Amino acid sequence: MPRAILCVLDSFGIGAADDADKFGDVGSDTLGHIADECAEGKGDKEGLRKGPLALPNMDRMGLGAAAKLSTGKDVAGLDFAGEPEGLWGYAQELSKGKDTPSGHWEIAGVPVEFEWGYFPNEVPCFPQELLDKIYERNNLEGALCLAHGSGTVVIEEFAEEHIKTGMPIFYTSADSVFQIAAHEETFGLERLLKLCEDVRQLLDDYNIGRVIARPFVGSVESGFERTANRRDYSVLPPAPTVLDRLKDAGREVIGVGKISDIFAHQGVTKLLKGAGNDQLFEKTLEAMELAKDGDLVFSNFVDFDMLYGHRRDVPGYAAALEHFDRRLPEMIEAMQEGDLLVLTADHGCDPTWRGTDHTREHVPLLALIKGQKGGAIGARKSFADIGETIAKFLGVEQGKVGVSFL
């Protein structure tokens, strides 16, 4: 039996979703706007990249065709003239949010039908009764920031005071999340992780999706840098996912990157961590070597979202896409005959859009079965079609939501 390899290019949307008006995202288009800026020279950056966006390998799989199906427009720089070699289309999200857990859980066959809890965009953004419990239970004198913010900016602003006082940095975003940043050496990594575990327990009453540990190192003199020891503490998916069905069938589910954290370590049988897209690509190749017949390799490439989408960095996002595209043939070469490769995303994060939040977009759905021809799979009504395709392909029980495109 062949294997399945599922790669989530975190935040790589290809045009505003049908319900984008509910999220203030009508007109958003991560791929299209990056391509437009590159075509106009606004995506150039000395020593990084220059010229029109070049994604020939994903375009050959059907990226340009999928984007045109989504928006009705050609994408600047994507000009593959032949019939796409992969199965191509796009998917619409059913879940009520545009966050990481909702997107990934729906990809795995379980849409999020409830509303997450969120913290208001005010200072302090966290309820005082919650903060008092955290301080008392963790022997803290207080915390810094207590507001909405970007992780790198928050660290730059509060790191010096954090080191002097020992108070951790608490912040949130438009997502359902409580983030805690602390210095790995002065505060301690283990202490930070224990703090996050305790906060996770307290947040169940607030219906908050994730607590994220954001460790960093450095000094005022040398500058501060986040490390690869990030940890996400998520609630469990509301129902069994295709990962659980595969595990119950005795298959290996190898999670690469933050996949295991997103699913609260449920359904993942083996975990490979990596820092940055390039290392995550290497870990995906390693996972493919480990995978046996009927197994799933599930990878998240976080840099697109974390480093470039949220920071509204068009040249960085474009360069990261081009680098992934250049390496894509390595992944295809490592596939065995009959293996299934799926490239998709969990939401958008248009780097030209107002604010720093995710954007409600269609996501690309590009698939390749090695040794077989491709074709159009159209507009899919749910990300769950991906999970059910994998379930059917690997011969395990089908879920209640989603329709296989095979």
In a domain, 297, yes or no: yes
Coil, helix or strand for 60? helix
Residues 100 and 246 in one domain: yes
Question: Burial level of 243, CB count in 10 A (0-12/13-18/19+)?
Answer: buried
Where a domain ends, among 233, 261, 281? 233
The CB density around residue 113, as the number of other CB atoms within 10 Å, is 13
In a domain, 281, yes or no: yes
> HSE (CB half, 13 Å, CA atoms) of 74?
7
Q: What is the mean pLDDT of residues 35-48?
A: 97
Residues 299 and 365 in one domain: yes
Q: What is the CATH number of the domain that holds 307?
A: 3.40.720.10
Kindly report which listed range (221-225, 292-296, 314-318) carries the lowest average pLDDT score. Answer: 221-225
pLDDT score recorded for residue 20: 98
Burial 307-318 (b: 16+ CB within 10 A, else e): bbbbbbbbbbbb
Phi-psi region of 82 (alpha: psi -120 to 50; beta: other; left: phi over 0): beta
Q: What is the CATH number of the domain that holds 224?
A: 3.30.70.1250
pLDDT tens digits, one per residue of 240-271: 999 999 999 999 999 999 999 999 999 999 99
Q: What is the mean pLDDT of residues 49-67?
A: 98
Residues 190 and 263 in one domain: no
pLDDT score recorded for residue 136: 97
Q: pTM score, two decimals?
A: 0.91
Beta-carbon contacts of residue 18 (< 8 Å; ≥ 6 apart): 92
Q: What is the mean pLDDT of residues 215-222?
A: 94
The CB density around residue 17, as the number of other CB atoms within 10 Å, is 25
Residues 368 and 252 in one domain: yes
The C-alpha atoms of residue 52 and residue 43 are separated, in whole angstroms, by: 8
Residues 220 and 272 in one domain: no
pLDDT tens digits, one per residue of 114-167: 889 999 999 999 999 999 999 999 999 999 999 999 888 899 999 999 999 999
Residues 248 and 196 in one domain: no
Domain that holds residue 207: 128-233
In a domain, 58, yes or no: yes
Q: What is the mean pLDDT of residues 36-51?
A: 97
Q: Please answer whether residues 340 and 369 qualify as being in contact, where contact means their C-beta atoms are separated by less than 8 angstroms.
A: yes
Residues 385 and 268 in one domain: yes
Give the rounded percent of residues in the chain with a pLDDT score beyond 90: 92
Residue 15, pLDDT above cutoff 90? yes
**184's tokens:** 């790995």
pLDDT tens digits, one per residue of 272-310: 998 899 999 999 999 999 999 999 999 999 999 989 999
Q: Please answer whether residues 162 and 187 qualify as being in contact, where contact means their C-beta atoms are separated by less than 8 angstroms.
A: yes
pLDDT score recorded for residue 374: 95
What total number of domains does the chain contain? 2
The C-alpha atoms of residue 316 and residue 26 are separated, in whole angstroms, by: 24
Q: What is the mean pLDDT of residues 18-30?
A: 97
Residue 356, pLDDT above cutoff 90? no
Residues 229 and 312 in one domain: no
**C-alpha distances out from residue 315 to 35, 159, 213, Å:** 10, 27, 28
Where a domain ends, among 233, 250, 271? 233
Q: What is the mean pLDDT of residues 358-386?
A: 97
In a domain, 120, yes or no: no
Chain-wide mean pLDDT for the chain? 96
Residues 244 and 371 in one domain: yes
In a domain, 352, yes or no: yes
Amino acid at 346: D
Residues 139 and 254 in one domain: no
Residues 87 and 163 in one domain: no
In a domain, 256, yes or no: yes
pLDDT score recorded for residue 39: 98
Where a domain ends, among 182, 211, 233? 233
In a domain, 19, yes or no: yes
In a domain, 401, yes or no: no
Residue 1, pLDDT above cutoff 90? no
Residues 77 and 51 in one domain: yes
Name the residue among 251, 241, 240 with its Cα closest to residue 1. Answer: 251
pLDDT score recorded for residue 89: 98
